[in-house]
């Protein structure tokens, strides 16, 4: 242990995965680490994500994995390479939490929830001497450079890691309020990511089908086709396959005022196969019965066909309509319903160690940074990797100092 580092005390603002990984990294180097969390308990969003089975990362090849980060893939690559999915799997195992690969390639703890992993992690941090202050809402710095908190406390840190999250799921702690505390820092607007979208359903469709799942469908948008599942809501549509397209849909709406999405209700059948079943005479059958018996459509699928036919647009053959139901998306759902956040501190504000150029000794990690990724383990991997990088950045800076 370096005697120079052991005399330094550092602060981590935010007790999510990025902040805790930074805390662990710095404590292992001998730094005295204090974590400040505004909520009454640690890592609430991680625990919520683990309720349905904690998707910790993904098993696909690293080269493909990096591409999931879109425009941020280039600058995130060194951090992902330094802490790839295989390293995260090994880290879980060292905490006594073995993982397995699901049929989709996603990686989960065998316990299928976050609480055992978090308990083991907090025990490790406690053993490293990391202290945690709860109900400590950061309010910036005072005139002497000390961190200030809403409860009136202050803390003089030799280095600070900010890991306050984005603005999604604000009831779990991250509400984006930190943007007002960094007025001199360029911040891309915080926007919903991995979110649902508003659709102006007819009243009858809304009443009959809100909450209905759309299973084994395919979505088509701007030449891209994705298979998966979604859910009809009273205000629109959401779900896994929607989230996978959400960044492109969101940007299309921002640019054009709307996005037109097409739903293939029977992606397992070709148009020609479906035409043989649907484009002949109905022989007195109602449309609902005809679609149910001939195309095996569920009630919500029949409702979507009827919604499209009543929309006043040109009426194509039934087979073509079932293969491409048009949906007009008018806006993304708000940040309170989004799984994650796009936008954040601009890359130009940071050095390679994720330190703010305008605030030496202050490092940033996790969703505060300007990146986004789809669900599937990419969000958590990005948070862990940048938390590790910010921790190492602080160690190097303090060692040089």
Containing structural domain, residue 271: 197-332
pLDDT digits (tens, 9 = 90+) for 342-359: 999 999 999 999 999 999
The answer to whether residues 154 and 170 belong to one domain is yes
* Mean pLDDT value across residues 187-208: 97
CA atoms within 13 A on the CB side of 115: 4
Q: What distance lies between CA 153 and its chain's CA centroid?
A: 32
pLDDT for residue 2 is more than 60: no
pTM above 0.75, yes or no: yes
Number of domains in the chain: 2
| Average pLDDT, rounded, for the chain | 95
The answer to whether residues 283 and 180 belong to one domain is no
pLDDT digits (tens, 9 = 90+) for 227-251: 999 999 999 999 999 999 999 999 9
> What's residue 228's pLDDT?
94
Both tokens of 291, joined, read 């679609």
Q: Domain boundary residue among 332, 357, 386? A: 332
pLDDT digits (tens, 9 = 90+) for 268-315: 999 999 999 998 888 888 999 999 999 999 999 999 999 999 865 556
The answer to whether residues 242 and 152 belong to one domain is no
CATH number at residue 128: 3.50.50.60
Instruction: Name the band, by pLDDT with cuts 50, 70 and 90, for residue 155.
Output: very high
The answer to whether residues 180 and 201 belong to one domain is no
CB 112 within 8 A of CB 98: no
CATH number at residue 207: 2.40.30.10
Distant-in-sequence, close-in-space partners of 289: CB < 8 Å, separation ≥ 6: none
């Amino acid at each position: 242990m370096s005697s120079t580092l052991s005399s330094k005390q550092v602060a981590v603002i935010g007790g999510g995965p990025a902040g805790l990984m930074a805390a662990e990294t710095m404590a292992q180097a001998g730094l005295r680490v204090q974590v400040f969390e505004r909520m009454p308990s640690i890592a609430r969003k991680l625990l919520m994500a683990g309720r349905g089975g904690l998707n910790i990362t993904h098993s696909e090849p690293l080269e493909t994995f990096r591409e999931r980060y879109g425009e941020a893939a280039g600058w995130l690559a060194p951090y992902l390479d330094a802490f790839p999915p295989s390293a995260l799997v090994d880290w879980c195992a060292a905490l006594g939490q073995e993982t397995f690969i699901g049929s989709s390639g996603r990686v989960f703890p065998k316990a299928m929830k976050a609480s055992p992993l978090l308990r083991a992690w907090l025990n490790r941090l406690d053993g490293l001497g990391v202290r945690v202050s709860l109900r400590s809402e950061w309010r910036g710095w005072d005139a002497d450079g000390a961190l200030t908190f809403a409860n009136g406390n202050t803390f003089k840190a030799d280095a600070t890691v900010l890991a306050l999250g984005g603005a999604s799921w604000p009831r779990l702690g991250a509400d984006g309020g930190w943007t007002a505390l960094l007025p001199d820092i360029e911040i891309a607007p915080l926007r919903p990511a991995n979110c649902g979208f508003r659709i102006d359903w007819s009243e009858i469709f809304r009443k009959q089908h809100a909450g209905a799942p759309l299973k084994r469908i395919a979505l088509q948008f701007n030449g891209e086709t994705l298979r998966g599942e979604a859910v009809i809501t009273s205000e629109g549509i959401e779900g896994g396959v929607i989230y996978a397209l959400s960044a492109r849909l969101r940007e299309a709406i921002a640019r054009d005022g709307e996005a037109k999405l097409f739903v293939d209700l029977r992606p397992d059948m070709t148009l020609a196969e479906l035409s043989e079943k649907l484009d002949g005479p109905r022989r007195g059958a109602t449309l609902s019965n005809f679609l149910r018996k001939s195309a095996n459509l569920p009630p919500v699928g029949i409702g979507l066909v009827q919604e499209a036919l009543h929309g006043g647009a040109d009426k194509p053959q039934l087979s073509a309509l079932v293969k491409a139901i048009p949906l007009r998306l008018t806006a993304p759902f708000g940040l309170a319903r989004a799984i994650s956040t796009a936008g954040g501190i601009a890359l130009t504000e940071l050095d390679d160690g994720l330190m703010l150029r305008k605030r030496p000794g202050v490092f940033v990690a996790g969703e505060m940074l300007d990146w986004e990724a789809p669900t599937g383990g990419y969000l958590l991997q990005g948070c862990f990797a940048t938390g590790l990088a910010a921790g190492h950045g602080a160690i190097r800076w303090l060692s040089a100092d």
